[in-house]
Amino acid sequence: MLIGLTYDLRQDYLALGYSELQVAEFDEERTIAALDRTIQELGHRTDRIGHAKKLCERLVKGDRWDLVFNIAEGVAGRNREAQVPALLDLYGIPHTFADALVCATTLDKAVAKRIVQACGLRTPAFAVVRTPQEAAAVKLRYPLFAKPVAEGTGKGVTGKSRVATPAELAPACQALFAEFAQPVLVEEYLPGREFTVAVLGTGSRARALGTMEIHVQDSAGSGIYSHDNKENWEGRVRYSSPARDAFRAAIEKLAVDCYVALECRDAGRVDIRLDADGQPSFMEVNPLAGLNPGHSDLPLIAEREDLSYRDLIGAILDSAKERL
């Protein structure tokens, strides 16, 4: 097949004056090169398209592809991840991963949690705060956890995200309003162990590839798996693979159930944390999980499960082709 690649290249946006934090979710050249090379090794031709506006130019010019491998995150707004899928759907061009609706509903963490709740799946009680006045009206059990409602890569998550008292909530929300110009998701804090589960497939074919536990070390300072600790994890965060037992099976079942309920496709990651009773709870899902070999969680989990990067990309393409 001729496979187009859509993505947001970090260096392009830095050159335009965007900050490191603003481009934290975007990909580096080494990731695109690895993806491009791997797809070619699997027997396909590739065409680097780039970001959404480049895609628009190519579509208007008349260019077409048998399939687009999409990892474009978009720049701003809670619909940003849906922009490329929507354009491809408009022109009838199939693509990997979630469609526009799913990309929008999963980026907005509150919308995703409402769907998970409606399906009877465990997730902490929450509220969406849009003003300081709404923060004062929140009726949840403290401590709480506050983060932007529509960001990824831990953006907006810091040592101050854990809110111990009502007096701390409005200032925490106000700081997030000022930095991210969007509502704040406030949810009851999950004090237990944290996991991320890699999922492959679509619908009834979805399965857990593997699970990785996240151990935030004392050297990380806050004890929070923050954006800073994610980006600078060495010496701060340790990762391990839990034993294959009933406990891990329960975590993976919840992850796959949430992934399927949210209608993710081909591959993704689901973040799970234990509540005060030791029960797994859904935190969020990433339907466009990072694919930087040797760094991103999805390929790292695949490697731990003896699935090479080439075979991981091949499995994603196979899943997409099944839908064609």
Write the DSSP symbol of residue 183: -
Q: What are the backbone dihedrals phi and psi of residue 146, each rounded to the nearest 5 degrees, phi first?
A: -120, 135
- The residue with tokens 């705060």 is 129
Q: Would you call 197 helix, strand, or coil by DSSP?
A: strand
- Rg of the chain over Cα atoms, rounded to whole angstroms, equals 19
| pLDDT tens-digit series, residues 78-129 | 999 999 999 999 999 999 999 999 999 999 999 999 999 999 999 999 999 9
Backbone dihedral region for residue 82 (phi beyond 0: left; psi -120 to 50: alpha; all else: beta): alpha
Q: What would the two tokens of residue 74 be? A: 């978009």
- Over residues 53-89, the pLDDT tens digits come to 999 999 999 999 999 999 999 998 899 999 999 999 9
Closest CA to 102 of 203, 248, 188: 203
What integer pLDDT is reported at residue 94 of this predicted model? 98
DSSP string covering 76-135: SSTTGGGHHHHHHHHTT--BSS--HHHHHHHHSHHHHHHHHHHTT-----EEEE-SHHHH
Going by their DSSP bridges, the two strands 184-188 and 162-163 should be labelled as unpaired
Q: What structural domains and CATH numbers belong to the chain?
A: 2-95 (3.40.50.20), 125-188 (3.30.1490.20), 191-322 (3.30.470.20)
User: Which helix (H) or strand (E) element contains residue 270?
Assistant: strand 267-274
Please state whether the predicted TM-score (pTM) of the whole model is above 0.75. yes
What are 45's strand-pairing partners? 2
Paired strand residues for 284: 271
CA separation, residue 158 to residues 32, 37, 72, 172 (Å) = 29, 36, 25, 10
**Is pLDDT of 299 > 90?**
yes
Per-residue pLDDT for 226 more than 90? no
| Contact indicator for 258, 189 with CB cutoff of 8 Å | no
Q: From residue 106, how far is each of 1, 71, 86, 234 by CA, in Å?
A: 29, 15, 15, 29
Strands 45-50 and 67-70: unpaired
Model confidence pLDDT, tens digit, residues 244-290: 999 999 999 999 999 999 999 999 999 999 999 999 999 999 999 99
